[in-house]
Amino acid sequence: EEQKSLLLNSSSCFSPPQGVKLSYGTAGFRADASLLPSTVYRVGILAALRSLKTGSVIGVMITASHNKVSDNGVKIADPNGGMLSQHWEPFADALANAPSPQHLLLLINEFVAKEGILMDGVSQAEVLLGRDTRPSGSALLEAARQGVTSIVGAVVKDMGILTTPQLHWMVRARNKGIKASEQDYFEQLSSSLRCLEDLIPTEKSKFDELIDKVVVDGSNGVGGVKLKGLGRLLNALVIEVRNSSEDGGVLNDGVGADYVQKEKLVPHGFGSEDAGMRCASLDGDADRLVYFIVQPESSGRIDLVDGDKILSLFALFIREQLSFLNENEGLKNCYPCRLGVVQTAYANGASTNYLKQLGLEVNFTPTGVKYLHEKAAEFDIGIYFEANGHGTVLFSESLIEWLEARTKEISSGSKASEAEKAALRLLAVSKLINQAVGDALSGLLLVEVILQHMGWSIHRWNELYHDLPSRQLKVKVADRNAVITANAETVVVSPPGLQEAINAETGKYPQGRCFVRPSGTEDVVRVYAEASTQEAAGTLANSVTKLVD
Ligand code: 16G
Ligand code: ZN
């Protein structure tokens, strides 16, 4: 009874927008911020129920990532710090679209019964709330708080302004019983970085001759501010941050990883004076990272070093450590480590070829972090990246345990063997790189220390392979969901005949590759084409666009 009146009262303050149907897409709910208070309130309820169901801390992040500043969004972090379990997504949709408080109550009652959630008033639930720098964020955070606390026994912890990966990290840490403040996050990153720096082979540490700083575009968002905080804890690495939220520029406007990757143009705040420098760009909530090199002269063009190349760099480094690890070791000391990489159809074909040439197992999933993450978790070390710069490296529990045991035997003072150093490095990587979700800050630190380890400039790194020219287009259609795909979005199964037509077109181009898929975030069908020249990629994309239209 208490529960019922609590819910009816609080939900009457949050009426859903008229005539809008919201859906929990690949990145949670996203819309113009003015449409979202009721949705965020209801996600608060959902998070509290999820916490009751799992007996764990749950996270709610308020962000619209790389989208424009007037948009906002909300998504849930599950107990392990990953995305909300997919089987709860339909319930999220139903809650968000319930037309009245009575409907809402009915839905909740049904769902609570179906999932066997204990609402005895004694069970405790805890939800961590975070938001990015969007001006609409504080009111929406308040709505989330109202939602959570409308469930009896549920409490909120406001973690303030955070990057998305920080919130996911905190949820994961809390559920492992580890301290989970921002300070703890910074300390874990900086100490594992230091460990990797200390293990750089001396003959390779000729990094001083290279440019010793990285210049980072913070997309006028939260990432830049946090990176400055983190940077103060680092001793060797120099990070110059531009386009931080406190610099007054507009979030994601002509800046940020999405802009740099899609437009292949220099972001605001960068210019020809930066030509040849090692530059990087974060997106609005700092879960994407790309690097770039400004071309000389004022063309505004860049050489993009995208998520595929970050993945290749990580794969190369990890493969090297694994080979040291098992070199000259008896069977007893060998760990049969399964290394796998995961990409989407957007991965440049040249990157896939490169990875296969390294002898790596390359897997493909549909677009969206939840799919890549799930696949990568099947390996002892699973590296996943989207070309857009979202990705991370996952380590299995059993490998971490083995590495911990292996490194415990190393007596301090004595010289560690190559195998022992490799084990120490891998363990440090597992602590540095975010195990919950792709994280631009930890990704950046790992890229930087691997470049130092290799003694490589960004140019050397960029030369690992040459991207095939590609072109992306979008088509507005009456119903994007009429396009149904299979095989990790590489094949259209409906409407009939479309794939055959695409094949016929693609066959006309040397090294041609093309696929179409409905967007998960916009009301469009996307077309991606690759070919041996930029012109050919453009023509192929154009002609396939006409087939879709
Ligand atoms: C979301 C996804 C991102 C994906 C993008 C594709 C998460 C956290 N984010 O931003 O991974 O690349 O959608 O958008 O999963 P699209 O479906 O509109 O092409
Ligand atoms: Zn993002």
Q: Has residue 169 been placed in a domain?
A: no
Question: In the listed set 161, 188, 206, which residue is the last one of a domain according to the structure?
Answer: 161
Assigned domain for 172 exists: no
Q: Are 64 and 119 part of one and the same domain?
A: yes
CA atoms within 13 A on the CB side of 406: 25
pLDDT in tens, 248-291: 899 999 999 999 999 999 999 999 999 999 999 999 999 999 99
The CA 85 to ligand 2 mean position distance, Å, reads 19
Show binding-site residues for Mg(2+): 65, 283, 285, 287
Closest atom, ligand 1, to C-alpha of 390: 11
Q: Does 145 sit in the ligand 1 pocket, CB within 6 Å?
A: no
Which are the contacts of 400, defined by CB distance < 8 A and separation ≥ 6?
427, 430
What tokens were used for 41?
Answer: 């309130």
Nearest atom of ligand 1 to the alpha carbon of 26: 15
Ligand 1 atom nearest to CA at 520: 17
**Whether residue 192 sits in one domain with residue 154:** no
Which of 369, 370, 527 most suits a substitution to test ligand 1, by most atoms within 8 Å of the C-beta? 369
Cα→Cα distances 360→311, 342, 363, Å: 12, 10, 10
Please report whether residue 151 resides in a domain: yes
Q: Which residues pair with 528 in a beta bridge?
A: 472, 515
134 and 109 inside one domain: yes
369 within ligand 1 shell (Cβ under 6 A): yes
The region that residue 158 occupies, defined by phi over 0 for left and psi between -120 and 50 for alpha, beta otherwise, is beta
Spatial contact of 437 and 284, defined as CB atoms under 8 Å apart: no
- Point out the domain boundary residue: 443, 467, 491: 467
Same domain, 89 and 150: yes
Asked if the structure places residue 168 within a domain, the reply is no
Q: Is residue 167 part of a domain?
A: no
- For the stretch 367-408, pLDDT in tens is 999 999 999 999 999 999 999 999 999 999 999 999 999 888
Question: How many whole angstroms from its chain centre is CA 442?
Answer: 11
Domain edge (last residue) among 129, 161, 193 = 161
pLDDT at 121: 81
Whether 304 and 422 share a structural domain? yes
Looking up residue 157, the CATH number of its domain turns out to be: 3.40.120.10
Judge if the beta carbon of residue 390 lies within 6 A of ligand 1. Answer: yes
Annotated binding site for substrate: which residue ranges? Answer: 386-388, 517-521, 526
Binding-site members are: 65, 283, 285, 287, 386-388, 517-521, 526
- Our count of domains for the chain comes to 3
Domain coverage including residue 74: 2-161
Distances (CA, A) of 508 to 18, 380, 533, 540: 49, 41, 13, 9
The finding on whether 520 has its CB within 6 A of some atom of ligand 1 is: yes
Q: What is the pLDDT of residue 522?
A: 85
Q: Has residue 171 been placed in a domain?
A: no
Are 103 and 123 in the same domain? yes
How far, in Å, CA of 2 to CA of 228, rounded?
47
pLDDT value, residue 206? 56
Residues β-bridged to residue 473: 527
Predicted ipTM > 0.95: yes
SS (H, E, C) 412-462: CCCCCCHHHHHHHHHHHHHHHCCCCCCCHHHHHHHHHHHHHHHCCCHHHHH
Find the angle CA(113)-CA(117)-CA(123) to the nearest 5 degrees.
Answer: 140
**Ligand with smallest separation from the Cα of 75:** 1
Q: Provide the phi-psi class of 219: left if phi over 0, else alpha when psi is between -120 and 50, else beta.
A: left
CB 519 less than 6 A from any atom of ligand 1: yes
**65 included as an active-site residue:** yes
Instruction: Tell me the angle at which helices 101-115 and 37-54 cross, rounded to the nearest 10 degrees.
Output: 20
* Same domain assignment for residues 131 and 182: no
Nearest ligand (C-alpha, residue 25) = 1
What pLDDT is attached to residue 235?
86
d(CA 109, CA 101): 12
Separation of CA 292 and ligand 2 centre (Å): 18
Q: Do the domain assignments include residue 173?
A: no
Give me the sign of the Cα torsion angle 242, 245, 250, 253.
positive
Same domain, 291 and 384: yes
| From 65, 150, 192, 244, the catalytic residue | 65
Half-sphere exposure of residue 371: CA atoms within 13 angstroms, side-chain side: 18
Are 361 and 273 in a shared domain? Answer: yes
Cβ of 63 less than 6 Å from ligand 1: no
- For residue 412, the model assigns a pLDDT of 59
Q: Is 521 in the pocket of ligand 1 (CB under 6 A)?
A: yes
| pLDDT at site 329 | 64
Q: How far apart are CA 35 and CA 118, in angstroms?
A: 32
486 shares its domain with 544: yes
Task: Judge if the beta carbon of residue 25 lies within 6 A of ligand 1.
Answer: no
Q: Are 20 and 31 in contact (CB under 8 A)?
A: yes
Closest listed residue to residue 440, CA positions, set 162, 247, 83: 162
DSSP 8-19: HHHHTT-PPPTT
Which ligand is nearest to the Cα of residue 77, counting in written order? 1
- What integer pLDDT is reported at residue 414 of this predicted model? 58
pLDDT of amino acid 247? 86
- Looking at the CA of residue 344, tell me the nearest atom of ligand 1: 12
Listed residue (10, 164, 187, 174) closest to 101, CA to CA: 10
Q: Considering the domain boundaries, does residue 166 fall inside one?
A: no
Cα–Cα distance between 540 and 528 in angstroms, integer? 9
Task: Name the 3-class secondary structure at 353.
Answer: helix
CATH code of the domain covering residue 519: 3.30.310.50
8 Å CB contact between 480 and 520: no
**Strand, helix or coil at 255?**
coil
pLDDT < 50 positions in the chain: none
- Kindly report the protein residue whose alpha carbon is nearest to atom 2 of ligand 1: 368
CA separation, residue 281 to residues 220, 243, 392, 473, 499 (Å): 11, 10, 16, 23, 36
Structure-derived torsion over alpha carbons of residues 120, 121, 125, 131, reported in degrees to the nearest 10: 130
On whether both 58 and 203 belong to a single domain, the answer is no
Contact 47, 24 (CB under 8 A): no
Cα(262) to centroid(ligand 1), Å: 13
Residues 361 and 423 in one domain: yes
